[in-house]
Structure 1
Amino acid sequence: MSAHTEVPVVRAADSEVDQRRVAGELAARGIGAGERLVVSASASPALLAVVLGALRTGVVPVVLDPALPTGERAELVADADPALDVGDDPGQLLGEHDADLAPFPLARPMHYTSGTTGRRKGVWSGVLTHEDAEELAREEIDLWGFGPADRHLVLSPLHHSAPLRFAVHTLLAGGEVLLPGPFDAARAARVITELGPTTTFCVPTHLQRLLREDVDWSGFRVLAHAGAPCPEPVKRAVIAALPDGAVHEFYGSTEVQFTVCTTDDWLAHPGSVGRARPGRTLTTDDRGQLWCAVPRWARFEYWRAPDKTAAAWDGDRVTVGDLGRVDDDGTVWLDGRREDLVISGGVNVYPAEVEEVLDAHPDVVESAVFGVPDDDWGQRVVAAYVGTPTPAELAAWARERLAPAKRPKSTHRLDELPRTSTGKVRRLDLPGQLGL
């Protein structure tokens, strides 16, 4: 570790010792497979030990955002019905006695979906057989090639599914995890340059900010990003900065993982999200909704919400409501989410399609498109953007490239777009922010 940048390093062997202590403490408290354990703590070696120690005994950690308002947290805890809630103190489960661990997690953590449309839903996978547990872990480890030589950099909060999944599987594969704390671009740049991580998961916002810093990217073999569309100029700059083939994108959700897009795939099909992960097949229905056939170990249900579960599944195929298309060669393109749909004068307008046009302007960094009520049209299309063009210039750009119904009726320049902690644009906040 550099003398300049002190960062907690979680080593697989050390973590396994702590995981066994967690397993022993859970057993001593009479908490067994299939029961829930709530934890809402910032990233730490203890948090990772508690998550893995629980999972490797079949106890299901419910990992909540430590910044949740008290009322919202209480609602989620009541819904999860846990055997234990350790709050922000996972260290209390580092007991004095060890217990055996399964080789692989016997469950997936239960995360609550972001709740952009209605009440949050818990994503529940139950307790896995040992065979399915190994298949699930092997799929992730093999996909990213995790191994003992890896040093994984955590840039996103661990209460989200993707960053936790990357950290957990790095440790399962014998590697190390770096925990530099809440994201700060200058600090992250120093960590990358001085400690030479080999892998990371991030969102486009991280990349935009890191590209402004002095970073030595040469140690990375995998930089995976997801969570939000990445503006093409940012993507190309990252590809140019990193070793050949290191930049990967993937498309997935809290519920299930769908695709992976390698550097070569993206350069051949800019704007796509790649092809289906191994063992999966993506198709679309007549409404353009994406469905994914998944292996047995990737199944889930919505916790205590059988109607929502039934609506998501059709045999072994599942949808989370995203819209897109699949080319003949299997390349997948996203067109937006059903709940993002803007209906103006009876015409369906998909924000992703309009954003793609606005983002293509050479002086636009990124944009977000949404609908607001309109007495004449039902809804009208509005755009917010980050960049240097004037609203009039961007409107002229759109007028040349979009059909009348799809053109933003007003454009608003902002210093930055509001986002969730995972980097997704909070479209629903924009009308209020802009006074619309």
Structure 2
Amino acid sequence: MTAVPVVRAADSERDQRRAAGALRAAGVRRGDRLLVSAASSPALVAVVLGALRTGVVPVVLDPALPAAERAGLAADADAALDLGDDPAALLDGGPEADLADVPLARPMHYTSGTTGRRKGVWSGVLTEDDARALAAEEIGLWGFGPADRHLVLSPLHHSAPLRFAVHTLLAGGEVLLPGPFDVARAAEAITALRPTTTFCVPTHLQRLLAHDGVDWSSFRRLVHAGAPCPEPLKRAVIAAAPPGSVWEFYGSTEAQFTVCSPEDWLAHPGSVGRARPGRRLETDERGQLWCTVPRWARFEYWRAPEKTAGAWRGDRVTVGDLGRVDDDGVVWLDGRREDLVISGGVNVYPAEVEAVLDAHPGVVESAVVGVPDTEWGQRVVAAYVGDADPADLASWARDRLSPAKRPKSLHPVAELPRTTTGKVRRLDLPDVLDLPSGPARG
């Protein structure tokens, strides 16, 4: 098989010290932001951890972002140093610096808001006690240890894949980086390299199950999240993987809420488990989920105090999802915010896609919706009013949107469905376009 980069804790620690030394020499200090937008690599992991263990906050962006979108986020992040796509530039063998035992901060990831405007999730520099508690919680929850080999299947610019990789290394384990997801390469890595843990989204699971010859027997924790997992797919994965290995969690870029063991899921199919240790979930009068979190899990939206205020009530936080908590403490999701599309585990906000389509000279207005897709969970579909050629509009979107956000089909219409007050009814679009609606079936 093609060689897969293996990140070993001891080797990475040396590179982390080099990265920390280079940051210090460049004048980057505790609490500053470090911008990087690179593909997953041992160098990226070392730079992120070297920064975190000296109190510098990495801002890890998708390397596939269109130039204009990246420039906007870079300006907003106001980083002390921008590495572009070359994290290895910090590992040239210069002076090394001491590292804290655990990360002193969380990375700042950007997440879209309900208006489509991305928001930075900022936790600042943690106290020593909170930093230790944060690391201990993640390592303890998944039982990471020196014998673990963690397989990375999702890009490290997403929060969960990076979190799993970082804490595996902190626990002394190894991280396998086979590159962008390819089902044949992933299947080969699973069978040949015998990983013990992985994080994935349901799309990965579906593709791997459909691929012949995957040997699942090495996994002790196969953890999925990022999008709803159809019940038939979940049952098939539980049947294929070792007993007790298939776990799920519900969370977001901002915060982590639940964990679901296979036993809990089999007893409550379709649920997302129970509150993580140290947390409590409840709903408000609108059915919106709120979670009481420990001190080290607090955050604010970067330079958006009004959005921060709307997300918090004391030590309770919400990301706007609707659900319920039954009498046994089991959490059920009744739906995401109505305009959110989750495609392959990536959150896509229609307003962001619509803004790009509406900028085309041949488009008067557009509306975007997610429709069920057995492979991706949902796919992005757009309707528009105007005389733009669909192929030309698709090319326009391709140049301005990252892959997950690009509409998979574009439909010219005479008018968009609206409420009596004039608002576009995105959820009526599937009927207007004669497309399927409701949950995807696996």
Give the TM-score, by structure 1 length.
0.81
Tell me, yes or no, if the aligned pair for 2:225 and 2:250 is still in contact at 8 Å: yes
Give the aligned partner of residue 257 of structure 1: 256
Give the aligned partner of residue 425 of structure 1: none
Give the aligned partner of residue 55 of structure 2: 58
Distance 1:236 1:31, change over 3 A: same
Confirm or deny that 1:77 pairs with 2:77: no
Q: In the aligned structure 2, how far is the partner of 1:84 from the partner of 1:63?
A: 12
Tell me, yes or no, if the aligned pair for 2:417 and 2:425 is still in contact at 8 Å: yes
Compute the displacement of 1:380 (Å).
Answer: 7.4
Distance 1:130 1:320, change over 3 A: same
Identity across matched positions, percent: 75
Give SS of 2:218's match.
coil
Correspondences of 1:3-82 after superposition (within 5 Å): 4-82=1-79
Letter in 2 for 1:77: A
Confirm or deny that 1:379 pairs with 2:425: yes
Letter in 2 for 1:90: P
Q: In the aligned structure 1, how far is the partner of 2:69 from the partner of 2:5?
A: 30
Structure 2 unmatched runs, 5+? 342-371, 384-415
Compute the displacement of 1:336 (Å).
Answer: 1.4
Compute the displacement of 1:381 (Å).
Answer: 4.5
Compute the displacement of 1:70 (Å).
Answer: 0.5
Give the aligned partner of residue 412 of structure 1: 435
Give the aligned partner of residue 150 of structure 1: 148
> Runs of at least 4 residues of structure 1 off by over 4 A?
363-373, 375-378, 380-384, 408-411
Letter in 2 for 1:74: A
Tell me, yes or no, if the aligned pair for 1:367 and 1:383 is still in contact at 8 Å: no
Q: In the aligned structure 1, how far is the partner of 2:6 from the partner of 2:435?
A: 43
| The one of 83, 101, 110 aligned to 1:112 | 110
Distance 1:371 1:274, change over 3 A: farther
Structure 1 unmatched runs, 5+? 343-357, 385-407, 418-436
Q: In the aligned structure 2, how far is the partner of 1:376 from the partner of 1:284?
A: 28
Distance 1:45 1:364, change over 3 A: closer
Q: In the aligned structure 2, how far is the partner of 1:229 from the partner of 1:129?
A: 35
Give SS of 1:197's match.
coil
Tell me, yes or no, if the aligned pair for 1:371 and 1:380 is still in contact at 8 Å: no
Compute the displacement of 1:338 (Å).
Answer: 3.0
Letter in 2 for 1:136: L
Give SS of 1:255's match.
coil
Q: In the aligned structure 1, how far is the partner of 2:127 from the partner of 2:256?
A: 20
| The one of 162, 185, 188 aligned to 1:187 | 185
Tell me, yes or no, if the aligned pair for 2:228 and 2:377 is still in contact at 8 Å: no
Compute the displacement of 1:126 (Å).
Answer: 0.2
Letter in 1 for 2:417: D
Give the TM-score, by structure 2 length.
0.80
Correspondences of 1:251-330 after superposition (within 5 Å): 251-330=250-329
Q: In the aligned structure 1, how far is the partner of 2:268 from the partner of 2:244?
A: 15
Deviation per CA, 1:246-300, whole angstroms, max 9, x where unpaired?
0001000000000001101111111100000000000000000000000000000
Q: In the aligned structure 2, how far is the partner of 1:164 from the partner of 1:341?
A: 23
Distance 1:364 1:118, change over 3 A: closer
Q: In the aligned structure 2, how far is the partner of 1:365 from the partner of 1:293?
A: 31
Tell me, yes or no, if the aligned pair for 2:9 and 2:174 is still in contact at 8 Å: yes
Distance 1:381 1:130, change over 3 A: closer
Letter in 2 for 1:93: L
Superposed CA RMSD: 2.4
Tell me whether 328-337 or 290-299 shows the greater mean CA deviation.
328-337
Tell me, yes or no, if the aligned pair for 2:21 and 2:95 is still in contact at 8 Å: yes
Distance 1:88 1:371, change over 3 A: closer
